[in-house]
């Protein structure tokens, strides 16, 4: 009788130990989250800084009714450099960093967590998730990051399309918007942002993870070389941005409506105005060719930096 009770108690203790996270496991999880946050922040900062002049030029065309062409885009870059100086090409990049660093940190960290959660649910390791959960992990990560950092994205867009005299710094943008247009303006354009982030982040992470998985399967090497990661990231960026681009144009138009003369309108109203004034293809895909240049570069740098930082931090921890 006594032995039966002891055995039963021991089994209960073993079951509890299996269910409850141990202090060592919890500490390891915290390290993984911090590692993902740090790697993601650096990845986002490097990627966005590298393509900031192209990004600013794209936004200027997106929010205006000017016809886009590569020649006009590079002419705009050149005259901006002549009239305002070299560093003006990075105008708004400080606001971009304030947004991108937390955005990328949250997105990459959330993606790792969603992979782990979905991996446990489906009985797979994060890297070997089936296609649909792999797509879902990316979409959820992008949505989480966008929801938490959206006002900073709006501020960055405002700074990119206005002269220096209008807004002196990031805080000045927040103050003027809250005074002149109301606090709710800080989330103007949020719906098309989330609708665009779901296919963009979902397809980007899905494509990158799928290409890495195929590489492991056919090359026999556990890790791709850095230049291969760049290529995989470039493909991911090309597919993700092409799928979500019309919503990106709508988002920018809604974000900058208060300073470009366009009336504040709903998603449908903004779409109709763009199509009516500029045509469906020319208006909704304005600047896409520049995105095909900057997008793959930025996403390639971002994914590659994140992976290499993760590998480095794991080596340092061990």
Q: What are the domain boundaries of the chain?
A: 91-187, 188-300
Quick one: pLDDT at residue 250?
A: 86
Query: What confidence score (pLDDT) does residue 18 get?
Result: 41
pLDDT recorded at residue 136: 95
Distance of alpha carbon 66 from alpha carbon 234, whole angstroms: 28
Report H helices in the chain. Answer: 2-19, 23-62, 70-84, 93-122, 131-161, 170-180, 190-219, 226-255, 257-260, 267-278, 280-284, 288-317
pLDDT in tens, the chain (318 residues): 555 544 544 444 444 444 444 454 566 778 888 999 999 999 999 999 988 888 777 777 767 766 766 677 778 787 777 777 777 777 777 767 888 899 999 999 999 999 999 988 877 764 578 889 999 999 999 999 999 998 888 887 787 777 777 777 788 888 888 888 888 888 888 888 898 899 999 999 999 999 999 999 999 898 999 999 999 999 999 999 888 888 888 888 887 776 666 666 778 888 888 888 888 888 888 878 777 888 899 999 999 999 999 999 988 887
pLDDT number for residue 4: 52
Pick the closest to residue 256 from 56, 94, 91, 60 (CA basis): 60
pLDDT of residue 51: 86
| pLDDT for res 235 | 96
* Residue 52, CA distances (Å) to 26, 79, 95, 177 in order: 39, 16, 11, 24
Question: What pLDDT is attached to residue 161?
Answer: 72
- What was the pLDDT predicted at 27? 66
Q: What is the DSSP letter of 130?
A: -
**DSSP code of residue 183:** G
C-alpha to C-alpha distances, 21 to 10, 28, 113, 153, 272, nearest whole angstrom: 18, 11, 16, 37, 53
Contacts of 210 (CB under 8 A, 6+ apart): 131, 134
The superfamily CATH assigns to domain 188-300 is Mitochondrial carrier domain (1.50.40.10)
């Amino acid at each position: 009788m006594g032995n039966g009770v002891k055995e039963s108690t021991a089994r209960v203790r073993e079951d509890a130990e299996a269910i409850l996270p141990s202090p060592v496991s919890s500490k390891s999880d915290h390290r993984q989250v911090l590692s993902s946050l740090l790697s993601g922040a650096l990845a986002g900062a490097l990627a966005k800084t590298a393509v900031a002049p192209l990004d600013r030029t794209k936004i200027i065309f997106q929010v205006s009714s000017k016809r886009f062409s590569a020649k006009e885009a590079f002419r705009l870059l050149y005259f901006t450099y002549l009239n305002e100086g070299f560093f003006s090409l990075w105008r708004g990049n400080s606001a971009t960093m304030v947004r991108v660093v937390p955005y990328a940190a949250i997105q990459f960290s959330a993606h790792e967590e969603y992979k782990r959660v979905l991996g446990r649910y489906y009985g797979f390791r994060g890297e070997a998730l089936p296609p649909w959960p792999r797509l879902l992990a990316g979409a959820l990560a992008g949505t989480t990051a966008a929801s938490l950092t959206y006002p900073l994205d709006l501020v960055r867009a405002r700074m990119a399309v206005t002269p220096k005299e209008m807004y002196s710094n990031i805080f000045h943008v927040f103050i003027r918007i809250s005074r002149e247009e109301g606090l709710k303006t800080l989330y103007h354009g949020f719906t098309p942002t989330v609708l665009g982030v779901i296919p963009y982040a979902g397809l980007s992470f899905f494509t990158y993870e799928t290409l890495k998985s195929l590489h492991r399967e056919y090359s026999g090497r556990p890790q791709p070389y850095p230049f291969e990661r760049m290529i995989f990231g470039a493909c991911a960026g090309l597919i993700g941005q092409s799928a979500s681009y019309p919503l990106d144009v709508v988002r920018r138009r809604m974000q900058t409506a208060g300073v470009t003369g366009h009336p504040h309108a709903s998603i449908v109203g903004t779409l109709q105005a763009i199509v009516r004034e500029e045509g469906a293809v020319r208006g909704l895909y304005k600047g896409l060719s520049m995105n095909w240049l900057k997008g793959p570069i930025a996403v390639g740098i971002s994914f590659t930096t994140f992976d290499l930082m993760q590998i480095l931090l794991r080596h340092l921890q061990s």
